Every structure is written in C-alpha cells, then in structure tokens.
Structure 1
C-alpha cells in the first residue's frame, strides 16, 4: 500500500459534518414536513423516513504489501415503489451508514422531481483512495460488487459514480458483475466509458444541470449569467466542470477551492489553466499561491455561491456572513437546516441540491435507457433532453414554492416525495 501523509491530511476530516449535524435526522424532519403539507398519513412517513433495505458488508482486500485489509461498505435502497433503485457509490474515509441512508433518500427525491422511474439508492465504502494504488482500488471495487451482487442488477438497483469514484471504477464493477452473472449486463451500472456502453454527456451532466439551474433561477430574478461573479467550492469532476461551463457562458469565476483551501481573485480566475493543473482528485491549490482556509473562502464577495464539495459546508456560523445573493447547491446536503433558515430570512435564494445537481442521475437514466435499447444518442441529443427536463423542473419547483409560500427546498421535497407516496398507495402498502 502506498503512503502519502500529505494527501491523507487533505482528505480525512476535511468535510466532516459541522457542529455534529446529522444529515439523516435533518432529511427525515424535512420529509415529515413535506408529507404533512401534502396531507399524508403517518404510515407513509414511516415507510419513507428510512430505507426499505440496507446492507452492510465487510470486504477483504489483498494490499500491495501482502497484507489483507478489511473495508466496511454499505448499500441503502430507499424505496422501490416507483421502480428499481438508483444511486452512486462513493469511496471516502468519512462515509457513515447515516450518510448513506440520507443520500439514498435524496436520490429518491431527485427521481421524483424529474419523473424518473426509479427509487433512490446509495453506496459507500470507508476508505481513502488517495492512499491506495490502482490495483488496490480495483480489488476493493470488485470485492464490493461480489458482496452486494444479490441485491443489485439492471432491474433491481443500478449503481453509478460518486465522490472519488469514476468511469474506471464503474468499469471494474461492471466487469465483475458480468462475470458473476455469466452474461453481459451493461444496464447494471451507469457512468461507464463510451466503449463499454456509457452515455455521451454523462461526465459533465451534473455540472451542466447545475449551470442550467443557475441560469434559470437567475433569470427569474432578472439577472444574466454573464453579469454574475461566482464562487465555486470544490474542484472535482462537478466543481471543475461547473466552473468551466459557467466560464464558457460568460460568467466571471472569482474563486475556486478544494480540500486544501480556496483562491479568490476579484477580476476573475483563468479557469482553463486551473483545470489543466488539477489532479485526478480535484486538487489544484498545492500548486497555487495565496490560498485561504475554506471558511474564509466561503464568505468572499460574489453574486452566486456554488458549493460543490460535501455535506454541511454552510452552517449557522458562516451563513450570516455569506455575501452571495444566490446559492446553487451542486453538492449533496451542503447547507444545514439552521443555515438554510438564516439564508431564507436574509432573502438569499437557495436552489436545493435535490433539484440543482440532479443532472447526473438524469443522464444516468438516459444511459440505462440506451443500454436497454441498444441504441445510443448523440451528445447534442443527450444535452437537449437534459436541458428540457432541467428547465421544466426548476420552474416547477420555484412555482410550487411561490404557490405554497414555502422555501424552494421544501417545495422540492413536496414535489419529489409525492410520487412515492402515491405509488405506495396504489400498490396497497398504505
């Protein structure tokens, strides 16, 4: 096993929940409020507050130095009343069971908002991939698939990339599943490379969806993208692509950050150059000067803040200090409930994660459809379909928020949870 203590310090604990915030408890409270607003009975809440199915696995991996290390992995399947479950797999040292459960619920909400025929799922393995060789990562990925193979599949539960996983890891998982089933199963997993049945447009789909959501929300406030100064927190696949797309749309990206801190320049940053300098884990600040701590970075002057890191980055201590007029959540759960209320009271528009970053699962759905049909679309077709669904969903949520006089987040939960409540009613579960 390779050792890199500098990199390990940059990851371990870098994005742990602020102030002991529990993302699962927060999510359950929001689900209850949404169901109460919609008038559903207690049994509906009880079925939606926890995943229907959770698996915890122990994965033995032979490391490069000959040792066997055992890793803990999880797979949570929130609700399959609408259809098979769908959700990513993350490799991260801070993965917890509660986090995976909450993420599976968020995936259900995204699917409900976009009318996808899926329930939500999520997987995670407690590991630090930055200290692992490619061979160790491959053996871990294959071991995880073997451990969960009985509960996943093209018509059961379809994994995808997430934090610190990518097309290569999806390819190993796909190959392992096909070996176990003794048949080719491209619809088992999404986020694959094109040569293995991946979809054009998938890699940048989440970021493109975020950019479209930002454009549409800004337009409702009478603002144009090219007039906006934007902070992007996080410079991995999503954050760097958000910065690139918005830069190409004419926005001024005044700040970017990674796990090592942030850089800010009032006149704007050279985004193409920064993307060229970043490593495969989204780290660029070790190569830069004048790097500030993340807490200082988040409160720099801007028009729009795009958190694209992990959970609970905007909390009660820094929410009063934000200088943005809009927050577009590219990450999952970046804002705590206390902070969300503070931002709402300050008149800061928050486009919630379950809406803003759902481009990834939407194009994953497109990939699954193409795999099942054996017919593949052009990138323009993928992007046009994504744009139409993003535009419709953004305005649906913002219209719902106005109609019910609630925040966009609560409106998103109301719209997203309703299909599951109705599907369970029709199935006779409640």
Structure 2
C-alpha cells in the first residue's frame, strides 16, 4: 500500500472507532500547503519540497532531509506523521516535512552550504518562528541548520535563531537534543516491558542503524540494563550473544572505524571468536526479544516479515514497518511500538529548544530530559489506555488519541 494511503487508512480506522463521519476529518487527508521548488546549481536542477500538512495545533514543524530518493509522496507522508506525533505528546505544533532530492556525499562542504542557502531563499516566505520551523533529518545536521539560520536572518534583516531547531549549542541549540529520540525510545520500551512484567536485564535487543538515533538508543538501553546483542549499519554490523560493549563501540565509530570491523563484547567470559558479522537486513531477523529499526523506512515488509523472531518491534525509523507486515506480525503476537510514539522525543526537545530561543533561556540537560520523560510518560499512558479499553493495536490507539485532539 502507498504510505500516504496507509496514513489515510489509519485515520479512517481511528475515525470509525470514535464514531466520526469521514467528512469530520476530511481536512486531515490533504496537506494545507505543498511547496515544490527547483533551482540551478553547477548546471544541474535541484528539486526541493516543503509539505505543510496541518496547523490546527500551532506552527508547522518537521525535518528537512537531503536524500536522492526524496519525493513528494514521501514528504507528504512524513509531514502527516508529524501532525499525528505532535498531537500524541501534546506539542503545540502542526506537521511538516521536506528537503532536497540530492545525495550530499557528492558535494563538498562549501557546495552543500551554497545549495542550502539557495533552498532557504526559495522557502523563506513560508518558514519562520511562528510559521514553520524546520529541523535536522536524514543526512542533515546542526551545521546545516546553522546555515539556514544565517541565510534566513540575512533575508529578514535580523538574527532569527528560532527559525529552526537542532542547532549547535553555541548557536541556540538545546541540551539533550542530540540523544532525545534514542532516549525517548528507551523510555517507551521501559514502559512497554513493565506492562508485560518483563525486566530490562532479561531482554535482548538488535538495532538496525547506528547513526544519531540508533547509537543513542543503544547507549541508553545499555545504561538501563538491556543486553544489546546486535547492531548494524547500511554496510553491515556485528552480533555477539554475550552482548556488545556499546560504549567502546560508540567510541570506535566516532574514530571512523567501520562497525562491521569492530567487535567489543561484554562480560568476563567474553570470547571475541564468537563475534559474527550481520547484514543491515538480517540484523532484524536475529533471535532476540526486541528489534529496533532505527535508520530508514520500509525495513520490515512482506518480504522479510516471516523471518522476524522478536516479539516487540520498536519502530524508531519513520514508516519502518509496512502496513502488510504489521498486520501479519500482530496475528503472530508481535507488538509494534509505532514510530509516531516511539520517536516523538526528537520533536519534543525541538519544541523545548524553540521555547528557549523565544524566551532567551538556556535549560540544563537534566531539566530537558526530565521534561521529555514526563511528556513521553503522559503520551504512553494515554495510548496504552486507549489500546486496552478499545482492544486495538498501539498504532490504532495513537491515531485515535491524535484524532481526538485534532478534532477538538
């Protein structure tokens, strides 16, 4: 099923459960604004998008990604998911998403800066602290956000750090932003295990992706006592039944060591000879309690769903599990913790950053993470109650909760 059609289908199911007529939420089926831009750079045309899905709860909010496969349908879907996500955790933002259909690896830093400036010029009329606040996403980072701030500030004639979030700390970024998505994913997993009377120490985990989200998830789970036994990036990774030493692995990747060439295991009886190389695909097929797709979309599908052995899927990647795969896995007793809840920590701390910028304040990391945990805990409580009361999946419960808030 087309991902955007999946979104609409999820909306319709939620509306039916709430006793709503289709026309009651027709406005949520179509983005409020779609911005498509084309500009020339070094003799080639670069295409960009910014989809502003819904502003019922506040200014539009969502990431900008730089990826050659980015298209309008993907941007529409991701913008719609941001609307749902913000509603679930009571963040006063609407949903948006966008970016450029480019491979940033093919450009120098200077070229990327110029491309970002040209893109900012094209969308400047549609963004702003009280209109639409972009943030980092796939292949974008705090430095790119800084370039947007600089160019936007030139255009409007004054410094405007609140035009984006995900900035460097010295440029108005927030403590806790870098680890927020992984941290909140760990929080939600904790709460899920508690409902199943299962302890972190008894739980094995495999993670696909060891970038910002996957690495911070691994570190947080490790701190909380989980046994992370497999991690992989696009070019492969490692598994070890004794558990992986996440701290040493994280430090190795910072030094640009290739993940599949490193193996640091835990415990006094750790045998490096038992290290195994795993691929980006089969890391999700490990014999573990929890798998976490934490990289890109569409990783658990009808093509590999029958090989999934875990009983919990922590969907930290947006659209990490296809609708067909989720339906099949639920029949097998697998619990899917959906993206719109699992990875909501990123936008929540983005909201905190935006608020700090507007109030000219600077909060401590401890305060940010405490406030984040409170937000995630409240969202989880509401979702879990709906799931239990209406006997629906966690994803359906998320959409029901969001729709109730969006239709007030």
* Shorter-chain TM-score above 0.5: yes
2:75 aligned residue: 100
3-state DSSP of counterpart to 2:74: helix
For 2:142 and 2:201, locate their aligned partners in 1 and report how far apart those are by CA, in whole Å: 32
1:321–1:282 distance in 2 versus 1, CA, 3 Å:
farther
Residue 249 of structure 2 contacts residue 262 of structure 2 at CA under 8 Å; is this kept in 1?
no
For 2:378 and 2:361, locate their aligned partners in 1 and report how far apart those are by CA, in whole Å: 26
For 1:379 and 1:292, locate their aligned partners in 2 and report how far apart those are by CA, in whole Å: 35
1:164 aligned residue: 139
2:292 aligned residue: 306
Deviations 1:14-38 (A, max 9, x none): xxxxxxx521111111111112221
Residue 326 of structure 1 contacts residue 349 of structure 1 at CA under 8 Å; is this kept in 2?
yes
Residue 312 of structure 2 contacts residue 336 of structure 2 at CA under 8 Å; is this kept in 1?
yes
Q: For structure 1, which segment, 272-281 or 236-245, has the greater mean C-alpha deviation from structure 2 after superposition?
A: 272-281
Residue 187 of structure 1 contacts residue 368 of structure 1 at CA under 8 Å; is this kept in 2?
yes
2:376 aligned residue: 390
**Superposition deviation, residue 282 in structure 1:** 10
2:321 is the counterpart of 1:345: no
2:92 aligned residue: 117
Residue 284 of structure 2 contacts residue 292 of structure 2 at CA under 8 Å; is this kept in 1?
no
**Superposition deviation, residue 225 in structure 1:** 1.5
Residue 204 of structure 1 contacts residue 237 of structure 1 at CA under 8 Å; is this kept in 2?
yes
Residue 84 of structure 1 contacts residue 155 of structure 1 at CA under 8 Å; is this kept in 2?
yes
For 2:250 and 2:106, locate their aligned partners in 1 and report how far apart those are by CA, in whole Å: 22
**Normalized against structure 1, the TM-score is what?**
0.89
For 2:257 and 2:387, locate their aligned partners in 1 and report how far apart those are by CA, in whole Å: 35
3-state DSSP of counterpart to 1:108: helix
Size of the aligned set, in residue pairs, is 397
Residue 256 of structure 1 contacts residue 264 of structure 1 at CA under 8 Å; is this kept in 2?
yes
Q: Runs in 1 of length 4+ with deviation above 4 angstroms?
A: 279-283, 286-290
Residue 258 of structure 1 contacts residue 283 of structure 1 at CA under 8 Å; is this kept in 2?
no
Q: For structure 1, which segment, 263-272 or 356-365, has the greater mean C-alpha deviation from structure 2 after superposition?
A: 263-272
2:106 is the counterpart of 1:131: yes
3-state DSSP of counterpart to 2:23: helix
2:27 is the counterpart of 1:47: yes
For 1:309 and 1:266, locate their aligned partners in 2 and report how far apart those are by CA, in whole Å: 23
For 1:146 and 1:386, locate their aligned partners in 2 and report how far apart those are by CA, in whole Å: 33
2:305 aligned residue: 319
For 2:14 and 2:261, locate their aligned partners in 1 and report how far apart those are by CA, in whole Å: 43
For 1:166 and 1:229, locate their aligned partners in 2 and report how far apart those are by CA, in whole Å: 31
Deviations 1:179-220 (A, max 9, x none): 110111111100011111111101110110001001111111
Residue 59 of structure 1 contacts residue 140 of structure 1 at CA under 8 Å; is this kept in 2?
no
**Normalized against structure 2, the TM-score is what?**
0.93
**Superposition deviation, residue 279 in structure 1:** 5.9
What is the aligned-residue RMSD (CA, Å)? 1.7
Residue 232 of structure 2 contacts residue 279 of structure 2 at CA under 8 Å; is this kept in 1?
no
3-state DSSP of counterpart to 1:291: strand
For 1:94 and 1:286, locate their aligned partners in 2 and report how far apart those are by CA, in whole Å: 28
